[in-house]
Amino acid sequence: MTRGFAAEEFRARVARAQARMDKAGLGALLLTTEPDVRYFTGYLTRFWESPCRAWYLVVPVSGEPIAVIPSIGAALMGETWISDIRTWPAPDPEDDGVSLLAEALGEVGGPVGLPSHQGKALRMPLNDLEAVKAQSGLAFTDDRGIVAGLRAVKSEAEIAKIAQACAIAGRAFDRVHEIAAPGVVLSRVFRDFQRLLLEEGADWVPYLAGGAGPEGYADVISPASDARLERGDVLMLDTGAVWDGYFCDYDRNFAIGEASEAQRAAHARLIEATQAGLEAARPGARACDVWRAMADVVGGGEEAGRLGHGLGMQLTEGLSVSAKDQTVLEPGMVITLEPGVELRPGKIMVHEEDIVITSNVPKPLSPWAGLDLPVI
Amino acid sequence: MTRGFAAEEFRARVARAQARMDKAGLGALLLTTEPDVRYFTGYLTRFWESPCRAWYLVVPVSGEPIAVIPSIGAALMGETWISDIRTWPAPDPEDDGVSLLAEALGEVGGPVGLPSHQGKALRMPLNDLEAVKAQSGLAFTDDRGIVAGLRAVKSEAEIAKIAQACAIAGRAFDRVHEIAAPGVVLSRVFRDFQRLLLEEGADWVPYLAGGAGPEGYADVISPASDARLERGDVLMLDTGAVWDGYFCDYDRNFAIGEASEAQRAAHARLIEATQAGLEAARPGARACDVWRAMADVVGGGEEAGRLGHGLGMQLTEGLSVSAKDQTVLEPGMVITLEPGVELRPGKIMVHEEDIVITSNVPKPLSPWAGLDLPVI
């Protein structure tokens, strides 16, 4: 499978953004985060892990994007389709790209749309944003959700990358019996599962959570403890593994040694709920309709919380499968279905799959789990 | 080795922050990023990988911190020493914690110090920040570098965790001969090296970069290509592996099959430069003095760029070992020494080690490399 995208795909993304910018009356977009910059450029590096350098992309309402970046990134950005690359020797305590960015924005003109809404961080110092505003003299506003809206609907090439990440995780999940057994420390299972993901082809493993216990686990976000797995536990592993910059995000539950009736019943109900979510996830339905279909199976009102979310260049992005999210589904959207049930107060089981919305029945991207809780 | 920290350590961190806040006239700190929140709470989860939920910590000038967080984190935050935990069912498209945060800040009073300077991002939507400002009616300002200043000087317990991460990476580097040889694809080497880090005890591997070629590599930030290693290449692997939330960040170079004279000479010069940096890194010296000592060995003026940086809960944090950084070194600061040399225009070799500043000679935390370029 080929890495990267054709330059035409990036040009099409920019053209779609520009059409929406024109309609919204924006002169430029200013992007500061890894996925937003990568979406329009293809610039892929794990160097964003270092917070000491800011990276900027200016997308004008017409013409090509301008990358305003630390000189350490010049060579790698030069390999993308972007031709207007302006660099400074960062980090510079006196002027860390502020003048260069203000100048680029000044050439392009405003108003400047900066993603400022839910799910969007500002990956630059606030002081520098204020300085850029002052130096450029331009008006700044939210990007009106333009970038998030574009990113929510994936191309075939993007979907193929997510499917690849899902397939890799599927092969790793098939090997959990190699690493999990009564007596094994949970932190060891977590380390080994990341190893399996890498062996099966993941580029890297930004996310792994999970838990274990006879009546489920406390949450789905905790790091591994040094507790030992015991016969009768249910073990859950939930991973975000990456292939070529695209995530999978799904989990699997395993009964250790033997499965209790309560565990089996909970698992079957989770799979039924996921199936109900799949059937509801048609174009034109809203995110809250998919939530309703799953909540009806697992029970619970709004407190059932978020039962899935958008997925792509980030582990979670865009819509929430929740009672309040009115986002209308469109073909090309990739979402997770993630119902949960409570086995006793404070102990839960959760199941998760990844799907892509099509013009008809959604297509599962993760290998669909059966009703039976696997025993290992 | 024990995970986490004693509650007394967190209390001491808060007390130090409060003394500085009092002096700076701040009523509260508002923290939004993973390391800043974790520094005062001990809240450790990989769930920050999901950008859809904001997390807030309010540190008042007197009294205990207040965590204002999504309800999904209540159980895990409840395991920390923090007792004032306020939650909302996030993400909420109507009010995503804004009222709850404004109320908490209102109780505490301003001015509110929000880290706004170099190296600091805002991990919350800008729109929500504006709403919190308006609802609370408080004045907001930079935190005056208080949090970064505290985090720069590590406790013994923190240094031990960084040393543990360094030791893990050292064992993995000792095994590179198992995974790298002529004909092996570079992306396979990268995957396998992450596996080695996990096998040797890393909790996870947030960062890996590197490169290979007969005359070095183009940069130190690129992801792996699918090019094959060839006899005569020099291979560099640079990793940020994590143990209990603390990073190592150093690299190693390996000659594949045989080493050229130019490679050997470059490597020896890099080690000499690192040694010069080590000798210069005494308390009272400035970051730029350490830079000067290394730049004198590898040659080059300011364009030699950044030759190291602070290290801790982030892969890079705080000071830059650069010509312009006047930060004065203090015992307890952990920094990297990272000189580079150009073998020909556009091709470099880089070496990196991690050290902690003491009252006398700095202590290496990474296993110190010898002059000879290892051949594998």
Residue-wise pLDDT tens digits, A18-63: 999 999 999 999 999 999 999 999 999 999 999 999 999 999 999 9
* Contact list, B316 vs chain A (CB under 8 Å): 50-52
What is the H or E stretch that residue B167 is in? Answer: helix B156-173
Q: What is the per-residue pLDDT for A206?
A: 96
Considering only the beta carbons, identify the residue of B114, B207, B316 that sits closest to A52: B316
Task: Provide CB contacts within 8 A for A33, sequence distance 6+.
Answer: A115, A120, A121, A123
B94–A contact, CB cutoff 8 A: yes
B231–A contact, CB cutoff 8 A: no
- Give the CA-trace dihedral at B258, B259, B260, B264, to 10 degrees: -170
Point out the domain boundary residue: B151, B176, B200.
B151
Give the model's confidence band at B305: pLDDT under 50 very low, under 70 low, under 90 confident, else very high.
confident
Residue from B43, B94, B117, B126 whose CB has the most chain A CBs within 10 Å, to mutate: B126
Helix (H, G, I), strand (E, B) or coil at A108: helix
CATH code of A246's domain: 3.90.230.10
B326 assigned to some structural domain: yes
DSSP string, A278-317: HHH--TT-BHHHHHHHHHHHH--SGGG----EE-SSSSSE
Please answer yes or no on whether B124 and A124 come within 8 Å at the CB atom. no
B243 assigned to some structural domain: yes
A358 assigned to some structural domain: yes
A113–B contact, CB cutoff 8 A: no
A372 assigned to some structural domain: no
Regarding an ipTM greater than 0.90, the answer is: yes
Is the same domain home to B225 and B81?
no
CA dist list (Å): A371 to A217, A293, B78: 20, 18, 34
Please answer yes or no on whether B47 and A209 come within 8 Å at the CB atom. yes
Give the model's confidence band at B222: pLDDT under 50 very low, under 70 low, under 90 confident, else very high.
confident
A371 assigned to some structural domain: no
Is the same domain home to B122 and B238?
no
Point out the domain boundary residue: B118, B151, B184.
B151
Q: For residues A158-174, give the mean pLDDT.
A: 98
Angstroms from A16 CA to nearest CA on chain B: 24
Is the same domain home to B230 and B278?
yes
B224 assigned to some structural domain: yes
* Contact list, B241 vs chain A (CB under 8 Å): none
Do residues A246 and A154 touch, judged by C-beta distance below 8 A?
A: no
Considering only the beta carbons, identify the residue of A45, A91, A324 that sits closest to B222: A45
| % of chain A exceeding 90 in pLDDT | 95
Is the same domain home to A248 and A143?
no
**Which is it for the CA torsion B274, B278, B279, B282, positive or negative?**
positive
List pLDDT tens digits, range B332-373. Answer: 999 999 999 999 998 999 999 999 999 999 999 999 999 999
Do residues A55 and A69 touch, judged by C-beta distance below 8 A?
A: yes
Angstroms from B275 CA to nearest CA on chain A: 24
Helix (H, G, I), strand (E, B) or coil at B237: strand
* Contact list, B324 vs chain A (CB under 8 Å): 92-94
Please answer yes or no on whether A205 and B208 come within 8 Å at the CB atom. no
Task: Name residues 165-184 of chain A within 8 A of B (Cβ).
Answer: none
B160–A contact, CB cutoff 8 A: no
CATH code of B102's domain: 3.40.350.10
Please answer yes or no on whether B316 and A51 come within 8 Å at the CB atom. yes
Considering only the beta carbons, identify the residue of B3, B120, B198 that sits closest to A195: B198
Please answer yes or no on whether A52 and B240 come within 8 Å at the CB atom. no
A313–B contact, CB cutoff 8 A: no
Residue from A43, A178, A195, A344 whose CB has the most chain B CBs within 10 Å, to mutate: A195
Give the nearest chain B residue to A123 (CA atoms): B121
Point out the domain boundary residue: B119, B151, B183.
B151
How many whole angstroms separate alpha carbon A255 and alpha carbon A233?
6
* Contact list, A206 vs chain B (CB under 8 Å): 46, 49, 206
DSSP string, A20-31: HHHHHT-SEEEE
Instruction: Say if residue B218's pLDDT is above 90.
Output: no
Is the same domain home to A336 and A205?
yes
Q: What is the per-residue pLDDT for A100?
A: 98
A2 assigned to some structural domain: no
Give the model's confidence band at A225: pLDDT under 50 very low, under 70 low, under 90 confident, else very high.
confident
Instruction: Say if residue B303's pLDDT is above 80.
Output: no
Q: What is the per-residue pLDDT for A253?
A: 98
**Cβ neighbours around A284 below 10 Å, total:** 9
Considering only the beta carbons, identify the residue of A120, A126, A303 that sits closest to B125: A120
Asked which of A264-273, A322-331, B258-267, B298-307 is least confident by mean pLDDT, the reply is: B298-307
What's the distance, CA A80 to chain centroid? 22
List pLDDT tens digits, range B116-145. Answer: 999 999 999 999 999 999 999 999 999 999
Is the same domain home to B122 and B179?
no
Is the same domain home to B46 and B174?
no
Instruction: Say if residue B60's pLDDT is above 80.
Output: yes
Count of the separate structural domains present in chain A: 2
DSSP string, B68-79: EEEGGGHHHHHT
Alpha carbons within 13 angstroms on the beta-carbon side of residue A246 total 29
B373 assigned to some structural domain: no
B344–A contact, CB cutoff 8 A: no
How many whole angstroms separate alpha carbon B29 and alpha carbon A360?
50
Task: Please identify which residue in the block is written with the tokens 């209990």.
Answer: B244
List pLDDT tens digits, range B138-177. Answer: 999 999 999 999 999 999 999 999 999 999 999 999 999 9
- Residue A363 backbone dihedrals phi, psi, to 5 degrees: -105, 125
**Residues spanned by the domain of A255:** 156-364
Kindly state the tokens that stand for A268.
């079957």
Residue from B31, B37, B46 whose CB has the most chain A CBs within 10 Å, to mutate: B46
Looking at residue A373, the DSSP 8-state letter turns out to be: P
Is the same domain home to A114 and A209?
no
Is the same domain home to A190 and A226?
yes
Task: Name residues 6-35 of chain B within 8 A of A (Cβ).
Answer: none
Please answer yes or no on whether A324 and B93 come within 8 Å at the CB atom. yes
Residue from A34, A120, A247 whose CB has the most chain B CBs within 10 Å, to mutate: A120
Q: Amino acid identity, residue A34?
A: E
A360–B contact, CB cutoff 8 A: no
Do residues B34 and B47 touch, judged by C-beta distance below 8 A?
A: no
A196–B contact, CB cutoff 8 A: no
Please answer yes or no on whether B195 and A191 come within 8 Å at the CB atom. no
Q: What is the per-residue pLDDT for B106?
A: 98
Please answer yes or no on whether B118 and A91 come within 8 Å at the CB atom. yes
Q: What is the per-residue pLDDT for B220?
A: 84
* Contact list, A126 vs chain B (CB under 8 Å): 114, 116, 120, 122, 142
Q: Amino acid identity, residue B180?
A: A
* Contact list, A315 vs chain B (CB under 8 Å): 49-50
Kindly state the tokens that stand for A74.
């010049």
* Contact list, B117 vs chain A (CB under 8 Å): 125, 127
Do residues A91 and B118 touch, judged by C-beta distance below 8 A?
A: yes
Is the same domain home to B207 and B345?
yes
Is the same domain home to B77 and B111?
yes
Is the same domain home to A138 and A175?
no
Determine how β-strand B66-70 pairs with β-strand B84-88: parallel
Question: Could you tell me how many CB contacts below 8 A there are between chain A and chain B?
Answer: 209
Angstroms from A193 CA to nearest CA on chain B: 10
Q: What is the per-residue pLDDT for B3?
A: 94
Burial call B10-23: b when 16+ CB within 10 Å, e when fewer: beebbeebbebbee
